Structure 1
Amino acid sequence: MINIFRIEVSLLLLTRLCVTSYTTKVPVVLWHGMGDSCCFSYSLGKVKSVLEENIPGVYVKSIRIGTNNIEDVENSFFKSVNEQIEQVCQELSMDEKLKHGYNAIGFSQGAQFLRAVAQKCGGPQMQNLISLGGQHQGVYGLPNCASIKHYFCDMIRRMLHYAAYTKYVQNNLVQAQFWHDPNREEEYRKRSTFLSDINNELQINETYKRNLKKLKNLVLVKFDHDQMVQPAISEWFGFYKPGQAVEIETLHNSKLYIEDRLGLKEMDANGKLHFISLDSKHLQFDIEWFIEAIINKFLV
């Protein structure tokens, strides 16, 4: 009887140790950028493998919008961003492996989408958000549009130039939903269905602000020679000064920061904001850098 008792206790302790070991591996959620998919072996599929190799036992979830990779790519161009956010919120909340929280890595537009998830979703709790080339103040230009179907890019450029803030385009064209025209600031604030909202441009949504401040770290990686994002300073929450598209205004000089409309000023004071720059083009980074600067510092 005593031996059986000891065996049961040993098994219980072993189970607890295994559970503890598992739960210390904080899951990672990925969201890809424009013209990409969750699972291409040369992009996020590779990133997923690197994460799994360097964080043994970690659960990695790569977000896919659609039933296959082609739909996922198409939806990175033509689908309401707010609908995508709502879908992802539901998907994450139903994933048992994420119930104790997760880290998130957003690639290009996937970064601001994951920030919206952090601000809007009721749970599970996002712990660290890594933004790789995210356009947090939007874009004003689409110089190097990446797409499997190249005619998408020509169509998008025409739509952005002539009708970015019309209701139809705002509800259907992804890039229009974070299109930020510095010569039409008031129109942007009032008619942008996504970016203006999550940046608290018109009014301060205290829930957005409170939820974003729950992050342990918000890591903003900017690519200094970015030929995809205009202006590249948007990757650090900067943008053009209103009324023109030449002079830059940094985050720290912006109304967003000075009035602390999103909580970034408080996060900065608490050491939660991290600004990293890379001497490279859009999303061009070495795996060694990614392991040392991102995985080892923020994900393990």
Structure 2
Amino acid sequence: MRLVNCAVYLISCLYFGHAKAESGNSSNGNVLPVVLWHGMGDTCCFPFSLGSIKKLIMEQTNVSYVRSLEIGANIVLDYESGFFIHPNKQVDYVCKQLAQDEQLSNGYNAIGFSQGAQFLRAVAQRCPVPRMRTLISLGGQHQGVFGLPKCPTLSVSSCEHITRLLNYAAYEKWVQNDLVQATYWHDPLDESSYRLKSSFLADINNELYVNERYAENLNKLTRFVMVKFLNDTIVQPKETQWFEFYAPGQDKTILPLNQSKVFNNLGLELMNLRGKLQFLSIEGDHLAIPKEWFVKHLVPLLLESD
């Protein structure tokens, strides 16, 4: 499958500036470095997207090191990774990169954009060194998706092909291996296939078997912040951005997080009791955050220490 158009879907969303920010050599004072992971259809370094986010964070926090993750050796591979490199491979690659980054040795804060949010959560669960302190999830699909109404940056025909694969063959092994979005496709009408054949999300959510290390490592976070976009037309259901999903066997009623198995199995109940979970919401479509909201609600979280 070939990518057809490298269009600019996210240009109308969270991106405020037009100049690419450059990272410095060390963090400033007690302000921790920040790691960013882009979403589907974006890259680490477009100056109108994560480049401007880096600049904004550096201006507002005085932190001198913001690392926007690039998957692969160049921007083309990074872009394609959002569709065609299995998340397990991406997470493993990122874990090694972060472990080798001396500027993160004292810990870091992280912001994940869309699918980059659940990928960063997997980093926190699988690779606790260096330590992630605060994880901010912007529109992350933590219980997966069931629907793909829009397909940013791809041609109509490519988007339709991906949608058909997800609707009819998401749990085929070759689709799981070759299409990123299939790895967090969650069919509430076929929970058994999801748990048994999901090659990424069911694992990091402790839904096939309970990996106690995942829960322990996630609880090492100082804070887990989830931002939901109330008018989201891309993520279905939008409640997955708050770690909620359809009750099993249907696709209408949302099961509250505290009634789901993942709440206990992944240690989220304990995080909630410790005041580590924070749920924010904002009017607007997927990743459409005004600069003022970002500065008011998210920048202070990057300034706080343990």
TM-score by length of structure 1 reads: 0.90
Aligned residues: 280
User: Are 1:49 and 2:42 an aligned pair?
Assistant: no
Question: How far does the alpha carbon of each residue in 1:95-150 deviate from its partner, in whole angstroms, 9 at most, with x for none?
Answer: 01001100000000000000000000141000000000000000000001112555
1:246 is aligned to: 252
Conservation of the 8 A alpha-carbon contact between 2:26 and 2:103: no
Give the alignment of 1:180-219 within 5 angstroms.
Answer: 180-219=186-225
Conservation of the 8 A alpha-carbon contact between 1:233 and 1:250: no
SS in 2 for 1:293: helix
User: Are 1:82 and 2:88 an aligned pair?
Assistant: yes
- Whose RCO is larger (CA < 8 A, sep 6+)? 2
Give the alignment of 1:83-232 within 5 angstroms.
Answer: 83-232=89-238
Distance 1:22 1:280 in 2: 33
Conservation of the 8 A alpha-carbon contact between 1:28 and 1:58: no
- Give the ranges of 4+ consecutive aligned residues of structure 1 lying more than 3 Å apart after TM superposition: 19-23, 148-152, 297-300
Unmatched segments (≥5 aa) in structure 2: 1-24
Give the alignment of 1:31-42 within 5 angstroms.
Answer: 31-42=37-48
Question: How far does the alpha carbon of each residue in 1:47-95 deviate from its partner, in whole angstroms, 9 at most, with x for none?
Answer: 1110011121431000111222222111100111100000000000000
Aligned-pair CA distance for 1:20: 11
Letter paired with 2:285:
K
1:292 is aligned to: 296
Distance 1:214 1:24 in 2: 19
TM-score by length of structure 2 reads: 0.88
Unmatched segments (≥5 aa) in structure 1: 1-18
Distance 1:255 1:119 in 2: 17
Distance 1:68 1:148, change over 3 A: farther
Aligned-pair CA distance for 1:256: 1.8
Conservation of the 8 A alpha-carbon contact between 1:101 and 1:125: yes
Aligned-pair CA distance for 1:202: 1.4
Conservation of the 8 A alpha-carbon contact between 1:182 and 1:241: yes
Letter paired with 1:292:
K
Aligned-pair CA distance for 1:294: 0.5
Distance 1:204 1:58 in 2: 39
More helix as a share of residues:
1
2:270 is aligned to: 266
> What's the Cα RMSD here?
1.6
Higher-Rg member (1/2): 1
